[in-house]
Amino acid sequence: MRMLVFGHGYAAGFLTPLLLARGWQVAGTTRADAARVAEAGAEPLIWPGDDAALRQAIAGADAILVSVAPERGADPVLAGFGAEIAAARPRWLGYLSTTGVYGDHGGGWVDEDTPLTPSTRRGHERVAAEQGWQQLAAAHGLPLHIFRLAGIYGPGRGPFAKVRAGTARRIVKPGQVFSRIHAEDIARVLLASIRAPRPGAVYNVCDDDPAPPEAVIGHAAELLGLPPPPAEDYASAEMTPMARSFYAENKRVSNARIKRELGVTLRYPDYRAGLAALARAEGITV
């Protein structure tokens, strides 16, 4: 079986070893970092670049995963290779989206049937991309699966380095929560879907515990035996427009469907379990 990953980045780096262990061959696109893709065990394909090799990989793929963000308001994979993917008719097609498509719900719960009301440009672009893939799938009978990812963390993307360096910030906005997901659990959800396809399915991929961002930073400091960074009021804190935009949406995301339909049991059901594992991997006693 052959998997092609458009955008073989951080999350795909955890999926590829799971597939290789089950006898799959994996190829993945990268803009320039072929060594990183090869280190994960995948065949690197430079894109933009070698379009001929990429079209050949599409034609031979049993499964295709799209992990590329929209660019300039359009999905570059859909625009550049939608026709080839439709002609290849893979057995499984996955698109990695974001829970940002739901917009702001004032801290309330959302699930996959919640209407999409994004409040940011990035959210609107993701809704358009999802719709574009759904239209392609409907027109050609493709087994599309959409995965709406919460905030990703994992090895190399935990808060410990910033806490140690004194650059971590505890921004406090009363009532604000975010959903998160460990990269290993993303890979396990994708593998479960590949093994039990449900064409047309949409899945939220997040843990069980939407939590305030300041609580995560505080817990990381506690694990390190360091005092937590001082609390900063969101209203008066100096932040970049990008950083402030993340606080524009406040919601709790349900993951019931991945458990019910895919039988997934999360390895890291909350940030405490995830941070404890990262700490152990870094040699921190917890």
In the chain the first and final C-alpha atoms are separated, in Å, by 41
Q: In this model, does residue 27 exceed pLDDT 90? A: yes
- CB-CB contact of 38 with 44 (8 Å): yes
Distance CA 277, CA 155 (A): 9
Q: In this model, does residue 238 exceed pLDDT 80? A: yes
Q: Is residue 175 part of a domain?
A: no
State percent of the chain over pLDDT 90. Answer: 91
Distance CA 81, CA 85 (A): 6
Q: In this model, does residue 286 exceed pLDDT 80? A: no
Q: Is residue 279 part of a domain?
A: no
Q: Report pLDDT for 155.
A: 93
Q: Is residue 280 part of a domain?
A: no
Q: In this model, does residue 80 exceed pLDDT 80? A: yes
Mean pLDDT value across residues 233-240? 94
Q: Is residue 77 part of a domain?
A: yes
Q: Report pLDDT for 118.
A: 95
Distance CA 249, CA 100 (A): 8
Indicate yes or no: pTM above 0.75: yes
Structural domain including 107 reads 2-155+181-206+254-267
CB atoms within 10 A of CB 236: 7
Q: What is the pLDDT of residues 105-159, one digit of tens each?
A: 999 999 999 999 999 999 999 999 999 999 999 999 999 999 999 999 999 898 9
Distance CA 273, CA 51 (A): 42
Q: Is residue 135 part of a domain?
A: yes
Q: In this model, does residue 244 exceed pLDDT 90? A: no
Burial of residue 268 (CB within 10 Å: 0-12, 13-18, 19+) is buried
Helix, strand or coil, per DSSP, at residue 157: coil
What's the structural domain count of the chain? Answer: 1
CATH at 71: 3.40.50.720
Q: Is residue 26 part of a domain?
A: yes
- CB-CB contact of 94 with 190 (8 Å): yes
Q: What is the pLDDT of residues 160-199, one digit of tens each?
A: 999 999 999 999 999 999 999 999 999 999 999 999 999 9
Q: Is residue 69 part of a domain?
A: yes
